[in-house]
A and B are shown apart, each in its own frame.
Chain A
């Protein structure tokens, strides 16, 4: 089902980021979780460049699914992009 590469950019302080991470856990989907605020500066720069490439970078959670991105916690959109029936 989830063959697309998925990155969940989050802040450790953000409640909606926790919900986003939990969504993928609940669906047994492997994702790369990046807690932006806990990263070292170099990693933050890389993360920011990645988010900006997909139109994000200021607000979290920011999820990249394949070549699509979702800004904010939006389980319906995650399902749409992954072909999950709710």
Chain B
């Protein structure tokens, strides 16, 4: 399958998964295009569209937690940031994704 059509397929599938979780694609279309392109590459390499910003390990169970969309495995962390780690998805109420920072979960716990 060509890259563009696979990207569209992932976009369609992801939309249906993240919508009930209260998330949507980022309004930053350039970022969305880039992330989806990388996920198509990762899917070709590993057979799975992993998060492009997380380390793939040798542990299958750990890796399953970074399959995009990885929101269910990071709910508290992502809800606090109002975005996922790579920024592909943001909370539905977000209109200005540039205002949202990557904050490690450890920093959020410290308050």
B interface secondary structure, majority: loop
Find A16's partner among B41, B56, B86, B103 (CB 8 Å cutoff): B86
Q: Is B104 an interface residue (CB 8 A)?
A: yes
Q: Is A55 an interface residue (CB 8 A)?
A: yes
Mark out the residues of chain B between 66 and 111 whose CB falls within 8 Å of any chain A CB in the assembled complex. 85-87, 101-104, 106-107
B interface residues, Cβ below 8 angstroms from A: 31, 34-35, 38, 41-42, 52-56, 85-87, 101-104, 106-107
With A59-B85, A72-B101, A74-B101 known as contacts, the answer to whether A17 contacts B106 (CB < 8 A) is: no
With A13-B38, A16-B87 known as contacts, the answer to whether A59 contacts B101 (CB < 8 A) is: no
Do the beta carbons of B31 and A15 come within 8 Å of each other?
yes
* Interface contact tally, CB-CB below 8 A: 53
Do the beta carbons of A15 and B87 come within 8 Å of each other?
yes
- Tell me which residues across on chain A come within 8 A of B31, comparing CB atoms: 15
- Tell me which residues across on chain B come within 8 A of A37, comparing CB atoms: 56
A13–B45 alpha-carbon span in the complex (Å): 12
Do the beta carbons of B55 and A14 come within 8 Å of each other?
no
A85–B35 alpha-carbon span in the complex (Å): 31
User: Which residue of chain A has its CB nearest to the CB of B41?
Assistant: A13
Of the candidates B55, B56, B103, B104, the one having the most CB atoms from chain A within 10 angstroms of its own CB is B55
Do the beta carbons of B85 and A11 come within 8 Å of each other?
no
